[in-house]
Amino acid sequence: MGVKIQGSKIYLPKLGWMRFYNSRPIPDGFTIKACAVRKRQNGWYVSVRIEDKSVPDYLAKSLKDVVKVIGCDMGITKQVHLSDGFQIENPKFSTTKKAKRTLKIRHRRVSRQPKGSKNRKKAAKSVGLFHQKISEKRQAYHWKVANKIVSRQRDGIALENLNISGMMRRCRVKLDDKPGIFLKNGQSQNKGLNPSSSDAAWGELILKIDYLAAKPGQIVIKVNPKHSSQECRNCGNIDKSNRDGEKFICAECGHHEHADIGAAKTIRDRVLELVRGTLALPATEYLNAQKISPGSKSFRGEAREPSQKGY
């Protein structure tokens, strides 16, 4: 027996009938395909996936139809920099002074209560509720940002293929020739950037952009962002000294522009070169050349047409 819903009750396998708040009634013609139950700080949540085979799939455009592409560069001072010059603010939900102070006070309340006491459990729950509130605010803001990017009405969206877990991983220890002496390995810089990177949640934002882009049939392609903010768009010179904060001044030709917007343009151009250089190749040969599996989220095009049913 599978999942069933009758009014305000739901039947879950191995658990039986349970009461729940039916926030969205299932329309006629839809059938229940799966159900996910998860626990959060303020209670249990049930997510029901439904399907109606009469609803047509969202079909993505082919690579031949990609003419206009918008590039996106993820950042910390700004959430996203677009290749058309538009910048989206980053509200910084968990790294503000107010959020840090509130979290510090609530952690202090937990440490002051005896272990195993009810007051300690209440204090710990308040910490979890605060984290949940921040997470919900971030999720809501990410949906707005993703809608802004998708609504730019382009054939394709160019994103950075970021290794976020690798970016936040602890740096390797560097030892000097003399025993017991350690050299600088950049960990102090990562220690300051990691909280901001975690608060920006680039991975979650990219997933939402990929999801929303499927409805209008836009293609989402990820490219390697290496040296995108250090490469001169005028002469092609790559040098760390070219960038000074948000300013970009080429040490060779003197070309200057906004560093992050220039990086978004470079990402856009790399995707255009990638698409134009593979138009003559079949989709399977393109995927083999890029080492991308047909089911990968790094590519959306002829080889992988998105299928989203229901609501």
Shared-domain flag, residues 150 and 10: no
> Is position 98 within any domain?
no
* Number of structural domains in the chain: 2
Alpha-carbon distance of 308 to 215, in angstroms, equals 8
Tell me what percent of the residues of the chain surpass a pLDDT of 90. Answer: 46
The pLDDT tens digits for 136-177 are 999 999 999 999 999 988 889 999 998 888 888 888 888 888
The confidence score (pLDDT) of residue 37 equals: 93
Shared-domain flag, residues 153 and 263: yes
The confidence score (pLDDT) of residue 294 equals: 37
Shared-domain flag, residues 175 and 199: yes
The confidence score (pLDDT) of residue 107 equals: 96
Coil/strand/helix, residue 196: helix
Alpha-carbon distance of 277 to 289, in angstroms, equals 11
- Domain of residue 154, residue span: 56-91+134-290
The confidence score (pLDDT) of residue 153 equals: 84
Shared-domain flag, residues 198 and 70: yes
The confidence score (pLDDT) of residue 208 equals: 95
According to DSSP H, which parts of the chain are helical? Answer: 97-112, 118-150, 164-167, 187-200, 202-213, 259-277, 283-290
Task: Please compute the mean of the pLDDT values over residues 207-211 and round it to a whole number.
Answer: 93
pLDDT band at 17 (very low <50, low <70, confident <90, very high): very high
Q: Are 132 and 41 spatial neighbours (Cβ–Cβ below 8 Å)?
A: yes
> Is position 210 within any domain?
yes
Does an H or E element contain 67, and which? none
Give yes or no for residue 284 having a pLDDT over 90.
no
Shared-domain flag, residues 43 and 62: no
The token duo for 154 is 């382009």
The confidence score (pLDDT) of residue 275 equals: 86
Shared-domain flag, residues 31 and 75: no
Q: What is the mean pLDDT of the chain?
A: 84
Residue 116, sorted as left (phi over 0), alpha (psi -120 to 50) or beta, turns out to be left
256-258 and 247-249 strand pairing: antiparallel
> Is position 125 within any domain?
no
The pLDDT tens digits for 170-200 are 888 888 888 878 888 878 777 778 888 899 9
Shared-domain flag, residues 189 and 148: yes
Shared-domain flag, residues 161 and 258: yes
Shared-domain flag, residues 84 and 174: yes
The CA-atom distances, in angstroms, between 292 and each of 20, 79, 162, 268, 298 are 42, 27, 15, 19, 7
Q: Are 231 and 170 spatial neighbours (Cβ–Cβ below 8 Å)?
A: no
Shared-domain flag, residues 142 and 51: no
> Is position 219 within any domain?
yes
> Is position 298 within any domain?
no
> What secondary structure, in 3-state letters, does 134-172 show?
HHHHHHHHHHHHHHHHHCCCCCEEEEECCCHHHHCCCCC
pLDDT band at 1 (very low <50, low <70, confident <90, very high): low
